[in-house]
Homo-oligomer: A and B are copies of this chain.
Amino acid sequence: MKERIVETSIQLFDKKGFTGTSIKEIVEELNVTKGTFYYYFKSKEELLKDIHLTYIDDLIEQQKVILEDSNKDCIEKLYGLILMVISNIGSNRESARIFTREVRHLSEKHVEEIKGKRNLFRKRYQELIEKGIRQGEFKDTIPADMLTFGILGIINWTYYWYNPEGEISEEELAQMFTNIILEGVKNDKLR
């Protein structure tokens, strides 16, 4: 039941916003009583926190698996991390949008907790870039923090436009973005 409450709320929050969705609407959609809701969550804010934590914990866990794969070099890991986020879109598009939009409705304590985990996710990305620079896979002229923000921008934005059921597969898109980041788009041949 907890899972069903979460799923239904994600749909409603995505469609009508966190503030625009009442607990009454959530339980009516599920055909249960408010008591059922309060058995699992102390408040709507607590539910929102739960959605945020589940989302970011899951990303951090997936990221860890890729980063700890000793068979891959930094370039391959970069591709893996880009593909990972794109592959999450199909199942997690709504959660991702809530994650970006509704964080301001969390209590200060919860915002701090989520921010800490967001920062951890970003830092692990940055550590990969730094390692790649040390090992000579990436240019040492690139500020690792700025590059990290750039890469996160590319992949976070996919939630707003990419259709996993469209013509371009997740792997193809991840490969294109990896190529752009690695090789750049300038034509070096003389015109």
A residues sitting closer than 8 Å to B (CB atoms) are 15-20, 75, 100-102, 104-105, 135-140, 142-143, 146-147, 149-150, 152-158, 160-162, 168, 173, 176-177, 179-187, 189, 191
Contacts and interface: CB of A to CB of B under 8 A. Distances in A.
Contact of A182 (B137, B156, B185): B185
Given A161-B149, A185-B181, A185-B182, A104 B17 contact: yes
Query: Looking at chain A's contact residues, is the secondary structure mostly helix, strand, loop, or mixed?
Result: helix
Given A19-B19, A186-B75, A157 B153 contact: yes
A89 B146 CA distance: 16
A118 B158 CA distance: 15
Contact of A136 (B17, B142, B185, B191): B191
Contacts of A184: 180-185
A186 B139 contact: yes
B154 A158 contact: no
A74 to B, nearest CB: 10
A98 B173 CA distance: 28
Contact of A147 (B147, B153, B180): B180
Contact of A186 (B146, B153, B182): B182
A13 to B, nearest CB: 11
A143 B75 CA distance: 21
Nearest to A144: B185
Given A17-B105, A18-B17, A185 B153 contact: no
5 contacts: A17-B102, A20-B105, A135-B191, A138-B186, A153-B158
A104 B102 CA distance: 13
Given A17-B105, A150-B176, 7 more contacts: A142-B179, A149-B161, A150-B154, A150-B180, A154-B154, A182-B185, A184-B184
